[in-house]
Amino acid sequence: MRQNLQLTELQRSFDPSQRRISATDAKGKILYCNDVFEATSGFTRKKLIDSPHNIIRHSGMLPPVYQRMWHCLTARKSWMGIVKNRCKNDDQYWVDAYILTI
């Protein structure tokens, strides 16, 4: 028989400066991004704000990934997945994305 382990209220701390954070409107236009997001993407904050979030979309990502993501978001559900993004200089980087609607 398996023993049930007790859950704890322990919360792990993560350095928030290492998280790439952006906020968009319902159509995907960037309204906010933090310094780490700006530095990782290579775009200036001035260029990012008011741009569509797909400014960092890598062409190697398959369309069904974004279709599933938008299906969840338009249904006001959160979405999690691994996404390849592109930098301004066309380098690429992977993110473990967690997206939620507010």
Angstrom distance (rounded) from CA 62 to CA 74: 19
H helices, E strands: number in the chain: 3, 4
Find the CATH number of the domain harbouring 41: 3.30.450.20
Digit-coded pLDDT (tens) for 30-42: 999 999 999 999 9
Domain presence at residue 3? no
Domain presence at residue 1? no
Domain presence at residue 43? yes
Count CA atoms closer than 13 A to 84's CA, side-chain side.
9
Higher pLDDT, 4 or 60: 60
Which residues form the domain of 87?
20-99
Domain presence at residue 14? no
Domain presence at residue 12? no
Digit-coded pLDDT (tens) for 49-73: 999 999 999 999 999 999 999 999 9
Domain presence at residue 6? no
Buried b (16+ CB within 10 A) or exposed e, 11-25: eeeeeeeeebebebe
Domain presence at residue 32? yes
Q: How many domains does the chain have?
A: 1
What is the value of pTM for the model shown? 0.79
